[in-house]
Structure 1
Amino acid sequence: MSAYPVRVRGHLDEPLSRGLWLVKWLLALPHYLVLGLLWIAFAVLTVIAFFAILFTGRYPRPIFEFNAGVLRWTWRVAFYGYAALGTDRYPPFTLGPAPDYPATLEIDYPVRLSRGLVLVKWWLLAIPHYLVVALFTSAAVVLWRDDLPSSGGPVHSLGFGGLTGLLVVVSAVVLLLRGRYPRSIFDFVLGMNRWTLRVAAYATLMTDVYPPFRLDTGEDEPAGGPQPPPGGAGLPPAGNPLPAGTGAAPVAPPRERSHVWSAGAATAAVLGSLLAFCALGAAIAGTGALVLGSARGPDGFVDTGIERVNTSTYALTVEDVEIEGQGVGFVSDAVGPLRVQVAGADGPVFVGIAPHGEVAAYLDGVAHDRVTHLTFSPGPDDGARPVRVPGRVPATRPGAQPFWTAQAEGMGRQTLTWDIRPGEWTLVVMNADASARVSADVRLGAPLAWTGTLIAGAFAAAAVLFLAGGGLIMLGVRLAAVPLPPLPAPAPPVVSGSV
């Protein structure tokens, strides 16, 4: 049985409190908040490590130490919390090792990594392990509902923490009632956590050794297999002497600067990663604005897809369009006039927009459908989800009403243009003669005059945030570096001979 370069250990720290596990979610809240920030940095630094491995074949040592520290910290909190409930000792706030804590994690530093394997191992090769880990860590009861709008669909009615979470809950109940943690369940839970952490290290590029499909249960790693070389995990042994008689001096191993992630260094790296993450968001926003701008038609409008709306009643309404606040003027200038194009399928069509109260009074007691969902797919689609309001026939035609802020009616495609203004508004689509069975294709559009400014601003912000984030990450790496100790002075040569 070969030893895996990721070693996960957990000692059942008995006796355990019967009821402390009931409030550990609250006690561990500070750790969850800190780990939320650390995992953002972990993701950003893993992307950096990906490109470093791709071009150099090496995982940058300071990034490796930071990411290993995040996994180590996560395992301690998980062992204290609901992934194991194996100890009542509060986890330390540190990225470094804590050998006296009941839960430890060690990852051998890889001197070299495959430059080609990095492209596929984290998604393609790890898929079988992802399925196993999903069984261990997450699960849900899924029901199929036929009473949903449209054609029904799946509903996640209950979620729980997979097999690991289920067994930990069973152990917690036994602990509450009998005061003892079942040893057999603990060993099995440790095996599932060990499998999960091995896959996490492999998927985040920290080793090229494929995780074994083996549930190594128990507190300690399985015995046997190669041991880490002297001088530290993943480092060359201390010295490389040549065979006797060659007359050559021993070749010293390369000296590597060690890295200790202090609070200041970790804070700089986390802040830099947050800025880099924000830079990615700004770049995505700029790209989206660029795509919108490229979809602008010859008339200067950016249009949605066509939505087919149908009802057997007398009207279709889109209600609860509420526009208020101090930024209405800015939105109106940025978006421009809203254009609604409606084409009737069976005859003259009417489209109008008016204050909600006026439309509600006109349609009071009239059978109509309130549209609650529009998909606007690229082509005609029956995706509108209406809510039926029963009633009678309208008393008058819609075009005869004086309260419309903007309206259009007639055969073929009708276009309504409306300047955005504060208030609560309702859009109405009807047959022009107020008859039943309305069927029409609807399309929305707007000039979106802000796209050019947004593109320039978003990409400029992305560049600034990326540079600032990269600078803070480099500062964190420099702060984490520990100077190399001076080399010892060479011993004076020994002169043989008689005195």
Structure 2
Amino acid sequence: MTGPESYPASGSEVVAQEPSVELDVFPPQQHSRWTVLLRLILIIPQAIVIWALGIAAVVVVICGWFGALFLGRLPDWCSDFLRGYTAYSTRVYAYGMLLVDTYPPFAWNPQDYPVRVLFHPPTPLNRVAVFFRLILAFPILVLASFFTSGWTVIAIIVWLIVLISGRMPQPVFEATAAVLRIQLRTSAYTYLITPTYLKGIFGDRTPVVQPGFTPAQPAQSPTRPLWVSSGGRTLLIVILVLGILASIGQSAVSTTSYDDTDTVSVSYIAD
């Protein structure tokens, strides 16, 4: 497998047929069981940094939204920060989701890290789409939350598999990478980094292999293009269903808790 040093660094630009965001993930040959065992503890400092950067990102997105309405594009300083933040958070999420074993550095644009986010060069934005961006992004935000919640449900199983075997099975890697890419592309669209709507939910289109077939564009990494096997697609569907069920269950619990609180309040007033 070709090493990550052969590819552009995180936050660099890649020219594609349409403005999109691509993801390179280079998994280790073998995970360190100690780092897998302590993953939740090890990721705490990074989670604090992501939380702080996320607050700043909200402010920058608001400024960028107004700027894009007037300029027809995201201001350069907003674009630079949001791209950096998106790439940084993606590296942390990849580490937390056990896709890689190398600890993410506290750096805005690290070199030779096994998770790379590649952005298309800045492009003009449709002002109408910018104005309604939150409404347009709502369906994919909900969809991404389903996939994230569903993966969280099976996270303990994935953790045990990697802890015991020291490896992530290929279908699990494909499904997990797909969930991470869904999060990445949803964030990029919501943050006005790209005008391209979420695509490739179940991976990229796999070419039909025929005798003498030579791909026009050879694979750049194990996740670019992201070819998901039938096992990986099945797991993605399971993750989606689990995420929907988890969201429904959480809503039901919240509604029940609210009704119970309201009943207690009424009883207290009556007494």
Q: TM-score, normalised by structure 1?
A: 0.38
Shift of residue 383 of structure 1? 5.2
1:219 alignment counterpart? 222
2:209 alignment counterpart? none
Q: 1:37 to 1:7 in 2, by over 3 A?
A: same
Aligned to 1:185, which of 172, 180, 184? 172
1:134 alignment counterpart? 145
1:41 alignment counterpart? 56
2:267 alignment counterpart? 385
- Summarize deviations over 1:314-366 as a string: whole Å, max 9, x none: xxxxxxxxxxxxxxxxxxxxxxxxxxxxxxxxxxxxxxxxxxxxxxxxxxxxx
Structure 2, gaps ≥5 residues long: 1-15, 205-220, 227-260
Secondary structure at the counterpart of residue 384 of structure 1: helix
1:25 alignment counterpart? 40
Aligned to 1:118, which of 130, 144, 151? 130
Shift of residue 91 of structure 1? 0.7
Distance 2:60 2:175 in 1: 32
Bigger RCO of structures 1 and 2 (CA < 8 A, at least 6 apart): 2
- Summarize deviations over 1:361-414 as a string: whole Å, max 9, x none: xxxxxxxxxxxx899xxxxxx953329xxxxxxxxxxxxxxxxxxxxxxxxxxx
Shift of residue 14 of structure 1? 2.1
**Do 2:19 and 2:121's aligned partners in 1 also have CA atoms closer than 8 Å?**
no
Give RMSD over aligned pairs. 2.8
Q: TM-score, normalised by structure 2?
A: 0.68
Counterpart residue identity of residue 184, structure 1: P
Secondary structure at the counterpart of residue 215 of structure 1: coil
Shift of residue 126 of structure 1? 2.1
Aligned to 2:118, which of 93, 98, 106? 106
Secondary structure at the counterpart of residue 79 of structure 2: helix
- Summarize deviations over 1:285-331 as a string: whole Å, max 9, x none: xxxxxxxxxxxxxxxxxxxxxxxxxxxxxxxxxxxxxxxxxxxxxxx
Distance 2:19 2:123 in 1: 15
Distance 2:23 2:111 in 1: 12
Secondary structure at the counterpart of residue 174 of structure 2: helix
**Do 1:66 and 1:95's aligned partners in 2 also have CA atoms closer than 8 Å?**
no
Greater strand proportion: 1
Shift of residue 179 of structure 1? 2.7
Counterpart residue identity of residue 35, structure 2: L
**Do 1:191 and 1:215's aligned partners in 2 also have CA atoms closer than 8 Å?**
yes
Secondary structure at the counterpart of residue 117 of structure 1: helix
Q: 1:385 to 1:68 in 2, by over 3 A?
A: farther
Greater helix proportion: 2
Q: Identity of paired residues, percent?
A: 27
Shift of residue 167 of structure 1? 4.0
**Do 2:93 and 2:180's aligned partners in 1 also have CA atoms closer than 8 Å?**
no
Counterpart residue identity of residue 116, structure 1: V
Distance 2:18 2:126 in 1: 20
Q: 1:6 to 1:39 in 2, by over 3 A?
A: same
Radius of gyration: which is bigger? 1
Distance 2:116 2:202 in 1: 18
Aligned length: 207
Find runs of 4+ consecutive structure 1 residues off by over 6 angstroms. Answer: none
Aligned to 1:86, which of 99, 105, 117? 99
Secondary structure at the counterpart of residue 144 of structure 2: helix
